[in-house]
Structure 1
Amino acid sequence: MKKVLIKNARIVNEGKIQEGDVFIEDGIIVEVADSISAKSPDVNIFDAEGNYLLPGLIDDQVHFREPGLTHKESIETGSRAAVAGGITSFIEMPNTLPQTTTIELLEEKFRLARESSYANYSFMFGGTNTNLEEILKVDPKTTAALKLFLGSSTGNMLVDDEKVLEQIFSKSPLLIAAHCEDEEIIQKNLKECVERYGDDIPVELHPKIRSAEACYKSSSKAVALAKKTGARLHVFHVSTAKEISLFSNKKALKDKKITAEVCIHHLWFDESDYAKKGTFIKWNPAVKTKKDKDALLQALKDDYIDVIATDHAPHTREEKKNVYTKAPSGGPLVQHALPALLQMYHQEKISLEKIVEKMCHNPAILFQIEKRGFIREGYKADLVLVDLNAPWAVQPDNTLYKCGWSPFEGTTFKSRITHTFVNGRLVYRNFKHQPFTQVAERLTFDR
């Protein structure tokens, strides 16, 4: 489909909603207007029927588990679920097997995505205590960011050498995205719980082990170091009310040097859900109190928090059923993130315009992604149509993750994604994917 005309849409873009049409040619938005007529017979026309047209979502934090952990997910299966959830671009994390800590391994992941991804893609490079020379080789125009684990991680990705950390913050050519939890506090809390309960620690204690104190201590250190060195810092998955004070809403996003993100699960779940969901909502950082959840939503709306992401991190059902110390943290979210946010819209907790700002516009601005994240003439035609009044229930048979389950199982969402376009090509329509073609592109960055 080289030419596509979407008619009769309610376009949600740049802080307003307006009725109109969008004309696409060769994957580019050519015209946005109140009314556009097809000028030739080779135009594919989609009648939006008054449904809402959003820019394609950009998820800046996913774990698609390839290479090395593909029994949980792959770039193909993860991106396929993502486009069903309206996510047209993703940035994937480096803690795979092997870990993405050399240029050679980074380019291998780009090769895998080029061959199998349904959505546009980029990857973060992984920092360690020993790979500063490799970090300095990364091209900021073609790679999303540098990921640092300042708390527990797999393999050797915990960066805990203070001198190395300051060097990385001082010299990194890339935006630094950080997982902030204090390892010393976590290990002390875990040791006390193991001494009392053994391996079968009640999961309700997860937010006590990975505590608000652990989050704040690590986040505040990262923010202080960024201020000292002038580094561009993005703090992943803020999960506590206390951390909000570390961030500012005084500047336009493009002028902020320190930014923050919240994840879907920290906006939806709280500690009262552990009794029913158990280890299936065990994440790092932990889902915490209702007070934290409510404060995070307010901070998001007040622009102290800049981005919503998923931290999609699937594990098999069997892995998640293990006792506390053996059950891995993380869960699958890319297919259900937008429906969950639209449910919050129906509950009058957040506006459509704010959802688009935090999941489309702001990731594009923050990472300086070229020509995506907005419905603008000259931009890539990554677009999502949603029907706000088409209820559906999350069940295993309509869950697309390779791991085969969702923390939202049993939830009925009021809104449905009806169409997803990637670079002007229809890739998903009403619970069905179009035959796979290589339409997804590597993200590039205006730096």
Structure 2
Amino acid sequence: MSRILIKNAKVVNENNIIETDLLLDGDFIEKLDTDITHDSAEVIDVQGDYVLPGIIDDQVHFREPGLTHKGNIESESRAALAGGITSFMEQPNTVPQTTTIEKLEAKFATAANTSWANYSFLFGGTNDNLEELKKLDKNACSGVKLFLGSSTGNMLVDDEAVLERIFSSTEMVISTHCEDEGTIRANLAKYKSEYGDDIPMRYHPIIRSEEACYLSSSKAIALAKKTGARLHVFHLSTGIETDLFTNTIPLEEKKITAEVCIHHLWFSDEDYDTKGALIKWNPAVKTSKDRDMLWEALLDDRIDVVATDHAPHTLQEKDNPYANCPSGGPLVQHALLAMLQKEQEGKISLEKVVEKMCHNPAKLFDLDRRGFIREGYYADLVQINRNSPSLVEKSNILYKCGWSPFEGVTFDSKVVRTFVNGHLAYDKGAFSEKRNARRLTFNR
């Protein structure tokens, strides 16, 4: 097995920044120490740059199978690698949906042949696949996904009896998209009666309202408490929801956890006038006050994880009237850079960025030897230069859809190198000819 010796790194790990060398042996970190020497190792001098654990993104939509004109596992995982993301968990609302074990394993087979980053998938719950879900081994994949607001096909779980049985039937993490469908439909009908299909985009956070989010997330939490289920609420978008979560116990002891996504930390409803459909997500980007409250909850540990909800659509699809314009946007290439920008603005510490994007996803999903820089752990690493500005422009966007909501933004940092299982997969803008991704495994 080949060895790589990384010299002169500032390693950000477990609430510390230490100057050290790292010796990689095959897939793993063999040694962390100062002044390491090795006769046969390839030496990479990072010259004082920061080295973080590889980012773990617990919520992406890579669009394969069935929607590959928007993106696929190969294209989007490659973009993720350029953004320092070394592991991802992909969502089940593809075509066909990932709602049987056979379809789940078909996705794993595709990723084994095409993915640039380590991979797992969520199994989709529906109103009628409980028996299939019960057959799923708790270590087969990253968890179960439930849409409690509308989604592709029949993935809306709106039968309360079924929902309770799902919550009672699995030890796996149940991740939820929480928006109350009845509230949304009523709001949408109101604005369609006034504007038809061409509703101004600024009404999106009023249609998919604070009330819709709170009703659904509070209901899911109540059900988790009743059944003892392990619940992870995806992409909080409102300030009021943050009070549903606690920071009084360590993450390892929490059974109910929360996530916030990059777009809800960066944009607000003030941006609809300039960004329009490019920032149309579900749940919607809401007010600057909501954004501030999300930041507060992230920093005081009521919110545990930062993710992307990467969900590409083509510009042609986005260029439709409101009612026919899909929600979602591409983010994996720029998520870490966006958080580093907020760190440089004094909003969050570098150690906290690593906690929320690396350590906590690994803990929450019980990942085997990932998310930390430790001897004996997989060598998933990202080197960043915090004084190397990078402009987001069409020529350097790697998403298959070809656009980014950050287009025109200059970030103050740059991803220099990304290592996947000890392999230098991305090096100063160039990709290795070899993929070295692995199926994520779990300790449950």
Q: 1:321 is matched with which residue: 319, 325, 349?
A: 319
Tell me, what secondary structure is at the counterpart of 2:217? helix
Deviations along 1:196-249, whole A, 9 cap, x unmatched?
001110000000000000000000000000000000000000000000111000
Deviations along 1:269-323, whole A, 9 cap, x unmatched?
0000000000110000000000000110110010000000000000001101111
Q: Which residue is equivalent to 1:76?
A: 74
* Alpha-carbon separation, structure 1, partners of 2:90 and 2:30: 30
Q: Which residue is equivalent to 1:365?
A: 363
Shift of 1:362: 0.2
* Alpha-carbon separation, structure 2, partners of 1:28 and 1:77: 26
* Alpha-carbon separation, structure 2, partners of 1:294 and 1:430: 34
Q: Which residue is equivalent to 2:96?
A: 98
Tell me, what secondary structure is at the counterpart of 1:325? helix
Q: Which residue is equivalent to 1:21?
A: 21
* Alpha-carbon separation, structure 2, partners of 1:359 and 1:85: 12
Q: Which residue is equivalent to 1:439?
A: 436
* Alpha-carbon separation, structure 2, partners of 1:33 and 1:199: 61
Shift of 1:361: 0.2
- Counterparts of 1:230-241 in structure 2, within 5 Å, are 230-241=228-239
* Alpha-carbon separation, structure 2, partners of 1:2 and 1:413: 34
Q: Which residue is equivalent to 1:259?
A: 257
Say if 2:389 is the partner of 1:387.
no
Amino acid at match of 1:371: R
- Counterparts of 1:119-134 in structure 2, within 5 Å, are 119-134=117-132
* Alpha-carbon separation, structure 2, partners of 1:244 and 1:310: 18
Amino acid at match of 1:16: N
Q: 1:171 is matched with which residue: 169, 172, 181?
A: 169
Shift of 1:35: 2.2
Shift of 1:34: 2.2
* Alpha-carbon separation, structure 1, partners of 2:302 and 2:21: 34
Q: 1:377 is matched with which residue: 361, 375, 378?
A: 375
Say if 2:12 is the partner of 1:3.
no
Shift of 1:137: 1.0
Amino acid at match of 1:442: R
> Gaps spanning 5+ residues in structure 1: where?
none
Cα RMSD (Å) = 0.7
Contact preservation (8 Å) 1:142, 1:443: no
Contact preservation (8 Å) 1:100, 1:106: yes
- Counterparts of 1:310-349 in structure 2, within 5 Å, are 310-349=308-347
* Alpha-carbon separation, structure 2, partners of 1:3 and 1:136: 43
* Alpha-carbon separation, structure 1, partners of 2:330 and 2:224: 31
Contact preservation (8 Å) 1:114, 1:438: no
Amino acid at match of 1:176: I
> Gaps spanning 5+ residues in structure 2: where?
none
Q: Percent identity?
A: 62
Shift of 1:142: 2.5
Q: Which residue is equivalent to 1:413?
A: 411
Contact preservation (8 Å) 2:425, 2:435: no
* Alpha-carbon separation, structure 1, partners of 2:90 and 2:58: 7
Contact preservation (8 Å) 1:84, 1:420: yes
* Alpha-carbon separation, structure 2, partners of 1:402 and 1:294: 32
* Alpha-carbon separation, structure 2, partners of 1:212 and 1:431: 41
| Off by >3 Å, runs of 4+ in structure 1 | none
Tell me, what secondary structure is at the counterpart of 1:140? coil
Q: 1:57 is matched with which residue: 55, 58, 62?
A: 55
What TM-score comes out, normalization by structure 2 length?
0.99
Amino acid at match of 1:6: I
Aligned residues: 444
* Alpha-carbon separation, structure 2, partners of 1:332 and 1:299: 24
Contact preservation (8 Å) 1:175, 1:233: yes
Q: 1:135 is matched with which residue: 121, 133, 136?
A: 133
